[in-house]
Amino acid sequence: MRTERTGEREPALALSRSLELARRLILEEGLRDAAEVRRRVREYLCASPGVTLDYVSIAHPETLEELERIEGPALVLVAARVGAARLIHNLLIC
């Protein structure tokens, strides 16, 4: 049986929302500078109450090498602490 700690649900949702932000920046706004996408996602997560950011990565989906420019598929990964839990989320953007 799963129980949620009071006040941790909303901060945990910030990780999913940060991936949606990255998707929007890349696919809808056409942003290709991976450092800028990382910066904006990092800024969003750092401003999210209850979230302690570990990392934001934008990598090649097969090699996991960090990308400088987004010219094809990209894997966006975020890791953060919410309460005692360390959460890791990712999204493949094609």
Structure tokens at 37: 């996408």
CATH of domain 9-93: 3.30.1300.10
Looking only at the bridges linking them, the beta strands covering 85-93 and 51-59 are unpaired
Report yes or no on whether pTM surpasses 0.95. Answer: no
Residue 84: partners with Cβ closer than 8 Å, 6 or more residues away? none
Question: According to the model, what pLDDT value does residue 12 have?
Answer: 83
Question: According to the model, what pLDDT value does residue 91 have?
Answer: 98
Taking phi over 0 as left and psi of -120 to 50 as alpha, with beta for the rest, 50 belongs to left
Mean pLDDT per 10-residue interval, the chain, length 94 residues:
57 94 98 98 96 97 98 97 94 96
Comparing CA positions, the residue from 90, 72, 87 lying closest to residue 26 is: 72
Question: According to the model, what pLDDT value does residue 9 have?
Answer: 76
Residue 55: partners with Cβ closer than 8 Å, 6 or more residues away? 77, 78, 79
Question: Do 13 and 31 contact (CB within 8 A), yes or no?
Answer: no
Domain spans, the chain:
9-93
Question: According to the model, what pLDDT value does residue 2 have?
Answer: 44
